[in-house]
Structure 1
């Protein structure tokens, strides 16, 4: 038998990740297949909440010049795909399918680095880490869906790339609330700081003020 606070007693989550010197934001899979209810995976309430909050975050981030990487997941056909166990992914996550398009509420093709990922993490097989290296990003803010899948994978890769990693709870979403909560709790024990939109906006405000002060 294990005590309810066994993880805490064994020092999990004791040390905060903290904030670095320059933020970057990744936006994971806010494509229409997840954000429009006519599609099999679309319209989950937690995902829609995350979409709305991420749009608010990105509006400020673009105004302040924060680097943003935005991705969807799409394939030319099932032959190109990994072995997805989700029928809806196999049938709709295709370049030729309208559900693969980015949701306009979170996407600015003239500002965002745009990548099409083929695996759960936005970092796997893409040039996002190269872009962030050039931009001298040391703190990655993870937004998007789904928490238990691509957000978890992206957060672990961000950690593995040695970024300070922040996950605003209200800027990520999942199909069900329990996996959302469970995965954030576990990520927060090990790899990331689980924060919220309000504190993330405050971080961007502080960073912007420091940039203006340095330029003065």
Structure 2
């Protein structure tokens, strides 16, 4: 953190882990996880994908609510004004890349939604699901850090959730935007953490509720 931000008290107060966690998995769809597609195969995204799989194995075992999503549209007419050609051409219900990667999705456990904007919370019902589950802490995973992860983290903050973003469970096309956006939201809205710390927090939460 730069001295100027620090002098103005940015990032001084931690968010912390609350009474019950929930996990959101943002856009681990084949468009991003399968290298055959135009947006697929970015190394940071694939790292985040593998780490999130590890997190979800523990989370499901401990009965932590999970909400996952893809982004897809009927046609370009339904879309917002995306500036990304690959999104306009492939983020469609009838395109194979729009499906959630089956390696990370458990249809018998996860709430799955199809979002239309950057945030998993925008007009999807995920917040309603978490309210019923009495979630007060949201762990944000997925891609891309500078876009849908940032938007989701800000919406999570706006919904008054304690928000945790494990750095190694989110990814982006390039490392610099990944680092810059985590630094920025970490100054203001969320605790930037890591997989091992979050796993330990879930274990502690489960012990306390055993």
TM bin (shorter chain): over 0.9
Q: Does 1:124 align with 2:117?
A: no
Q: Residue by residue, what CA displacement relative to the aligned partner does 1:3-22 show, whole Å, maximum 9, x if unpaired?
A: 94100110000000011000
- 2:93 equivalent in structure 1: 95
**From 191, 194, 200, the counterpart of 1:202:** 200
Q: Does 1:191 align with 2:189?
A: yes
Long gaps (5+) in structure 1: none
- 2:17 equivalent in structure 1: 19
The offset of 1:211, in angstroms, is 1.3
The offset of 1:106, in angstroms, is 1.1
- 1:77 equivalent in structure 2: 75
Instruction: Describe the SS at the equivalent of 1:77.
Output: coil
Structure 1 residues 67 and 4, CA gap change in structure 2 (3 angstroms): closer
Q: Does 1:136 align with 2:134?
A: yes
- 1:58 equivalent in structure 2: 56
Counting matched residue pairs gives 210
- 1:169 equivalent in structure 2: 167
Q: Does 1:10 align with 2:8?
A: yes
- 1:106 equivalent in structure 2: 104
Structure 1 stretches of 4+ moved >6 Å:
none
Instruction: Describe the SS at the equivalent of 1:79.
Output: coil
- TM-score, scaled to structure 2: 0.99
Q: Residue by residue, what CA displacement relative to the aligned partner does 1:138-173 show, whole Å, maximum 9, x if unpaired?
A: 000000000000000000000000000000000000
Q: Does 1:211 align with 2:205?
A: no
State the distance in 2 between where 1:211 and 1:199 align: 19
State the distance in 1 between where 2:160 and 2:209 align: 23
State the distance in 1 between where 2:2 and 2:56 align: 38
Q: What RMSD over aligned residues (CA atoms) do the two structures have, in Å?
A: 0.9
State the distance in 1 between where 2:123 and 2:178 align: 25
Q: Does 1:37 align with 2:35?
A: yes
Instruction: Describe the SS at the equivalent of 1:60.
Output: helix
Long gaps (5+) in structure 2: none
State the distance in 2 between where 1:95 and 1:186 align: 33
The offset of 1:59, in angstroms, is 0.3
Instruction: Describe the SS at the equivalent of 1:43.
Output: coil
Instruction: Describe the SS at the equivalent of 1:194.
Output: strand
